[in-house]
Amino acid sequence: MSVYILDGFQTEELKQAIHSDPAFPLIREMCFKFGLKVLNFTEMGINEGEKRKFQLCLPNGIAVCKAWSGMVDGKRTYFYRSPYYRKERGRTAEDKETIHSTKVSSLIATLKRVNAIPSVENMNTKKTKLIENAMGLMDKAMGSTYKSSELSANEVHALLCAYLGETPNGNHLTIDRIKCQKVLDKYNEADRVLVKGKEEQQRFFYNPFYLIGADGHGHFIVSKVKLVSENQCEIIEPFKRYKDIAEREDLIPVMTMVKLAYEDNTHVLQNGYIPVTDKYDENLDSVFFYSERATHYDYIWMATPC
């Protein structure tokens, strides 16, 4: 068992890769200094002296950066790259996200100085903030709450005169009772939808629910959360990474229903389970949402009550 590898992802191949790679001194320091864990690696071998890029995660399994080593101008150089860090200067997006040094100690010192490694709390906030998207989708599914002005100025004038008991000023203003009733019915329906939407959000999001993400590694991260206010989320069960959602027996029934409901549909199922769509599914009582396509850092999300 290696102290450098994320729990549940230990393999002899990964252990050997870590200890035999030129980047091992950097991996070791990042694990000890920042509490990071290795998830996996990809073979490189494109540039001189490069062997592997290692994916590092927080202890809860949320991926935050990659580390590797290579030769630059004949010197052994150590690299760190993360989408959660960005320099002001750089020729490309990759350059702006990357810090490198010929000395591990110097690179570690720089990472500390610029706060390049996001904390668990910071990443929890980033991920749970996406719940706002899910709430918006549920609102949209309830129906429209928009009240448009469908009466002309003369009709509004006539209504004001009638309400205030005044006589129209000779412009022969009239009121179409049928039209007014239709507008009133529409407005009342908008109010009903608004009330129902708030009730459904209260039921769904202010009680414990699962927050499940599927990423580009083919894995899942799972947490139990609930809202305690409009801008505050309580994490009941911390995020944890799983190779297969079947490792969570409590989620097998709902995930199986989702798979059956969408596998013959036009939607792509991320990692075989979560549809890549923005939608509240009333039949499954689940919200599916995403802000970016699944990558090593971005997830296709699903929320469903516990």
Per residue in 66-121, pLDDT (tens digit) is 999 988 888 999 999 999 998 877 778 888 999 999 999 999 999 999 999 999 99
**pLDDT number for residue 1:** 64
Express each pLDDT in 276-299 by its tens digit: 999 999 999 999 999 999 999 999
Work out the mean pLDDT of the chain and round it to a whole number. Answer: 89
**pLDDT number for residue 163:** 76
Look at residue 46 and tell me whether its pLDDT is greater than 60: no
**How do 63-72 and 52-57 pair as beta strands?**
antiparallel
| pLDDT cut 90: percent of the chain above it | 64
Phi-psi category of residue 35: left, alpha or beta, with phi > 0 → left and psi -120 to 50 → alpha: left
Look at residue 30 and tell me whether its pLDDT is greater than 80: yes
Q: Report, as an integer, the average pLDDT of 143-172.
A: 73
**pLDDT number for residue 195:** 82
Look at residue 190 and tell me whether its pLDDT is greater than 90: no
Q: What residues contact 80, with CB distance under 8 A and at least 6 apart?
A: 26, 30, 65, 66, 67, 98, 99, 100, 107, 111, 116
**pLDDT number for residue 210:** 97
165 versus 75: the higher-pLDDT residue is 75
From CA 91, how far away is CA 217, in angstroms rounded? Answer: 28
Query: pTM here?
Result: 0.85
Q: How confident is the model at residue 171 (pLDDT cuts 50, 70, 90)?
A: low
Q: Report, as an integer, the average pLDDT of 208-224.
A: 96
What are the boundaries of each domain within the chain?
12-118, 122-134+206-305, 142-204
**Using N-to-C axis directions, what is the helix angle for 177-205 and 153-164, rounded to 10°?**
90
82 versus 145: the higher-pLDDT residue is 82
From CA 155, how far away is CA 281, in angstroms rounded? Answer: 41
Which residues share a beta bridge with 234?
226
Q: Which of 60, 62, 7, 2 is nearest to 28 (CA)?
A: 2
Look at residue 134 and tell me whether its pLDDT is greater than 60: yes
> Which letter does DSSP use for residue 58 in this model?
-
Q: Which of 161, 150, 139, 226 is nearest to 184 (CA)?
A: 150
Q: Which of 179, 136, 140 is nearest to 301 (CA)?
A: 136
Express each pLDDT in 227-247 by its tens digit: 998 788 999 999 999 999 999
Residues across the chain:
306
**Using N-to-C axis directions, what is the helix angle for 12-20 and 24-34, rounded to 10°?**
110
